[in-house]
Amino acid sequence: MPHEIRSGGKPRRDKLGDGGIRSTIIIPNYNGIKYIENCLVSLAGEPARVIVVDNGSVDGSREVVEEKFPTVRVLALDRNYGFCGAVNRGIEESRKDKTTYVILLNNDTTVQPGFVRAMEKALDSDGRAFSGAARMVNMQHPALIDDAGDYYCALGWAFAAGKDKPAADYGRPREIFSACGGACIYRRSILAKIGLLDENHFAYLEDVDLGYRAKIYGYRNIYVPEAVVHHAGSGVSGSRHNDFKVKLSAKNSVYLVYKNMPLLQILLNLPFLFAGFLIKTLFFLKKGLIKSWLQGTAEGLRLACSEKGRAKRVRFVRSRFPAYMRIQWELWRNLWYRIYM
């Protein structure tokens, strides 16, 4: 269990009263001095409680939050437990709020007014929805999409819909495979059934894994275009492709398949998965990141064979067979979406 130092006092009583506050926003922070203040300023008018979970930052960002935002609760962890570890500690802390929803938000984002109510309204209107994904736009070029919902395909690839495409083209709600953890809402009651983020991921693809798990349990994930978030992107890791991200993503790609697909489904998708691996191998060879890619893949295989990996595998239940069938159809359909979304 991570050591934590609590600051910021007890949960505040908002002007709307306990009945008006229905969401707790959780912001993981690791050396986010460049972004965290603007993020919290943008939330000033939003009807939600806010928890910043600091992953052992050394750049002064935690101190900025404590000094300038006294109504924000801060959980200061003793070291970096990754995105998953920080979020899970935040969710555990937020239980005392007794809010209906949990909202995740990256520290390198700012929200447009009405963000929280738009997210809540979307899940209020769909009782089978586990999560909702915000319309994330590029902070430097807000006319372009950063993420309009995530998809996962039979190649073993996860991808963001609309990446670098006109934001105006992504203004309609729809069902998606999973919600990007950079700006999303989760229904707390379903989290209690399916579990929190899998900390074996540390970071990257943990949100796809959680959305996948929700689908196995028969729930839906939706895109909420009315909730708009500006995202700097690669605010911590530094670029779209780097050794850290490539290695973790490779590891988690292997682990994601192992833990969510029954053996028969893995065999069914094996030709696609092999093709996806080969294409990625050639891509990272060209990028000069082949060593990180292969090391991450090997780590993923070791994790899948380990006791802690096996312990997290989603057990196949016969009653969920229709859900697996729907997911398989999506995995094939999303091959097409990979080109056109």
Per-residue pLDDT at 339 exceeds 90:
no
Instruction: Please give the sequence-ordered ranges of beta strands (E in DSSP) within 4-93, or none if there are none.
Output: 4-7, 23-29, 49-54, 73-77
Could you read off the pLDDT of 291-308 as tens digits, one per residue? Answer: 999 999 999 999 999 999
From residue 107, give the alpha-carbon distance in Å to each of 114, 132, 137, 235, 282: 18, 18, 15, 8, 33
Which pLDDT does position 5 carry in this prediction? 34
Cα 201 to Cα 287: distance, rounded to the nearest angstrom: 24
Handedness of CA 303, 306, 307, 312 (dihedral sign): positive
Provide the pLDDT confidence category of residue 278 given band limits of 50, 70 and 90.
very high
| Single pTM value for the model | 0.92
Q: Is the pLDDT of residue 2 over 80?
A: no
- How many whole angstroms separate alpha carbon 279 and alpha carbon 168? 31
Higher pLDDT, 302 or 3: 302
Q: What is the pLDDT of residue 303?
A: 98
Spatial CA neighbour of 76 closest among 171, 167, 161, 3:
3
DSSP 165-234: SBGGG--S-EEESB--TTEEEEEHHHHHHH-S--TTS-SSSHHHHHHHHHHHTT-EEEEEEEEEEEE--S
pLDDT per residue over 10-54, tens digit each? 433 334 444 589 999 999 999 999 999 999 999 999 999 999 999
Q: Is a pLDDT exceeding 70 seen at residue 327?
A: yes
For residue 11, the model assigns a pLDDT of 37
pLDDT of residue 341: 79
CA distance 178 to 138: 20
pLDDT at 181 over 80: yes
Residue 240: other Cβ atoms inside 10 A? 9
Q: What angle do CA 128, 134, 140 make, to 5 degrees?
A: 170
Strands 220-231 and 109-111: antiparallel
Give mean pLDDT, residues 218-225: 98
Q: Does residue 8 come out as left (phi exceeding 0), alpha (psi in the -120 to 50 range) or beta?
A: left
Whole-number pLDDT of residue 324: 98
